[in-house]
Amino acid sequence: MSLPREDRPAAVRAALEAALAPVSLDVVDESHKHAGHAGARDGRSHFAVAVVSEAFAGLAPLARHRKVYAALGDLMTTDIHALSIQARTPAEG
């Protein structure tokens, strides 16, 4: 079951904070940019996240993305249609 649209950014933030203990996290709801898009018709949201976390140390970009997807869990199937990810370690800034 999906969350109300206005609650989704906070849910995304909470899930990423709990799983990744980021030193920096930006969550931007970009759904308004995709109004009318075929994939947006189901009511799910489009997000861009920039995450800086030590949890990404030693991981290739694909593994970092998988870690973000895992952190978001069911939100990926119930509330998120598209996700743009920037995942870096603190050393990468």
Confidence of residue 93 (pLDDT cuts 50, 70, 90): confident
Range of the domain at 77: 5-92
The single residue listed with the structure tokens 């370690």 is 89
Least confident of 34-38, 51-55, 82-86: 34-38
Tell me how far apart the alpha carbons of residues 88 and 3 are, in angstroms, rounded to a whole number: 28
Give me the mean pLDDT over the 7-18 stretch.
Answer: 96
Q: What spatial distance separates the first Cα and last Cα of the chain, rounded to whole Å?
A: 36
Q: Is the pLDDT of residue 57 over 70?
A: yes
Q: Is the pLDDT of residue 54 over 90?
A: yes
Number of domains the chain contains? 1
CATH of the domain at 88: 3.30.300.90
